[in-house]
A and B are shown apart, each in its own frame.
Chain A
């Protein structure tokens, strides 16, 4: 044992004392409920009389996998991630590149791009719902009366596909600022001398971006990609407020809005818990793949 290791061992009891509150809270409020809901997912759970719950084994899981509404909700959620995450990252990184230049009012622009991130989901969801109203919405007004590209109002929220337009746009708009701030941090650790050396060697601005900035930014991009994917797979509030969770015809559900409806509207706690666990497993697998795929060591 080295001296430093011995010193660390001596500090261990004290470290445990300081860690204990965190561990206890984490166990009581995160791990405990998670395990409890795993148990619920194997029962036809009676919330008010748990002792009367009937054991179903994996029936809730097989029921979900065979349920067309659940399958549709999985497709909707995947489409949401596939559309919004790359768009958000491309626009966000572009903004970060612009903010990394020597321009006037940099701080002002940073604040403006970050503003959507800190606005309340509920308020902006309702705002987008009004903007996309089928009869009096701002978007219909622009398309019909200003741009004259449509001659009849579009009923955005009454259509199971078009209802996703405001939901996707809201997620992109709200996430760009966060992506830009993280990407900006990634850009600022790239050593200036590398870029200067490339410039001396005759590299143009595109070549400097393509062969120096982009490779060195890969860890940041991987991080953004993983975190935003997990975030969007957990999409919930905007859908619940804009489509009421599933309207029309249960075709616009996300996995989590369906989980909420099953659990708290129809009181089917077992089925809702099974849906939660299916989503958890799915996110876990996707995240492992993403991290494997994108993890490359970068040396400056």
Chain B
């Protein structure tokens, strides 16, 4: 063949290929009922991820046309990964987001509104705890469903308590006393916090009656620097000055999980996942939980944590995604995840024989636990409180001055 005829036949072959490809196109769109794959991004732990596979299998068995593709991320990488993917229009259909992020993503217009859109939405939310549900609400609409919840309670090391002749404290006065009684120089501390970020002191802060902002989220002045908030941080500051709190919270010390299991920290405050963490790392350690000690007004409190299931705006498989969301909120899947240490959000499951015994204390604590400020700028507010806590512990500012500055910084964020 001459070169020119070679070229022509090549072009003809190419053109035919294009035509045949184009011919395939309509055939695919004629089948809306065909199999769809939806993606689901999360930050679950090892045991949770293993159990999620069973949940997905159960969902796929009930919905043979839908395949769920789950991807796990490390918590610290999750936000940047999600944002860059969404900006490049490569984001997932659904995800499990930290409750503190939902308002932020909803504010960016990234999430699909569920009320009035999702079939059966009203019945589903009627069965959930109101606290976790409230974290999905932003400017008049719901942008997610409470997938799981948690809170922090007191963990007390039985061996250390018995050796020191102490009993778990029930009031904050007893807590302060026990923390110092069980401290022995640098060898043993009565109490330890994981850091100075708000999540760490939050249970004590709320139990002491502390508040960050007013109910309508308009100002922090008189709240984060109000008398109850100041009293909460003053108690922690006094314990720290008396060396009854481990210095690790300033940074670069022994972590609370390891320190508590090895007897270095008599008390820590942490969540339900500690059971699984200790099962893996310290199988012989006996975990003991108690409610957060009651504040001056006699009531206990703590901080609400957990994750919400969200569907992203612009997903091509909204129907399948909503089916998946409804399944994750079903008793069947909530019970399965409970086996892996995940606290269900369905109030009907309280007292259910199939959920682990140690959930009881967390479910009781959840009745009074409070959510952090549901606001897109929460991350910056957290930073302001974190820095105020650092400054008072280092003696750079008095508790009142440090919190006055935090109030000013938070008010600037609220404008």
Contacts and interface: CB of A to CB of B under 8 A. Distances in A.
Q: A and B bound?
A: yes
Contacts of A129: 252
Given A134-B247, A155-B252, A156-B252, A46 B108 contact: yes
B387 interface: yes
Interface in B229-255: 246-248, 250-254
A91 B80 CA distance: 39
B120 interface: no
A158 B252 contact: yes
Contacts of A132: 252
A94 interface: no
B58 interface: no
A107 B157 CA distance: 54
B interface majority secondary structure:
helix
Interface string B360-392: 000000000000000000011000000100110
B79 interface: yes
A51 to B, nearest CB: 11
A150 interface: no
A264 interface: yes
Given A48-B110, A153-B186, A158 B251 contact: yes
A158 B87 contact: no
A276 to B, nearest CB: 15
Nearest to A50: B87
Contact of B251 (A49, A155, A264): A155
Contacts of A96: none
Contacts of A244: 251
B387 A264 contact: no
B271 interface: no
Contacts of A49: 108-109
Contact of B254 (A133, A250, A267): A133
Nearest to B87: A47
A133 B253 contact: yes
Give the size range of B's interface with the partner. 20 to 34
A247 B194 CA distance: 14
Give the size range of A's interface with the partner. 20 to 34
B83 interface: yes
B86 interface: yes
A266 interface: yes
A264 B79 contact: yes
A135 B254 contact: yes
Contacts of B390: 248-249
Interface in A144-160: 152-153, 155-158
Given A49-B108, A249-B391, 13 more contacts: A47-B83, A47-B87, A48-B83, A48-B87, A129-B252, A134-B251, A135-B186, A136-B253, A157-B251, A158-B250, A264-B80, A267-B83, A267-B104
Interface of A: 46-49, 129, 132-136, 152-153, 155-158, 163, 243-244, 247-250, 264-267
Interface of B: 79-80, 83, 86-87, 104, 108-110, 186, 196, 246-248, 250-254, 264, 379-380, 387, 390-391
22 contacts: A48-B83, A48-B108, A48-B109, A49-B108, A49-B109, A133-B252, A134-B251, A134-B252, A134-B253, A135-B246, A135-B253, A152-B186, A155-B247, A155-B250, A163-B252, A248-B250, A248-B390, A249-B390, A250-B387, A265-B79, A265-B379, A267-B83
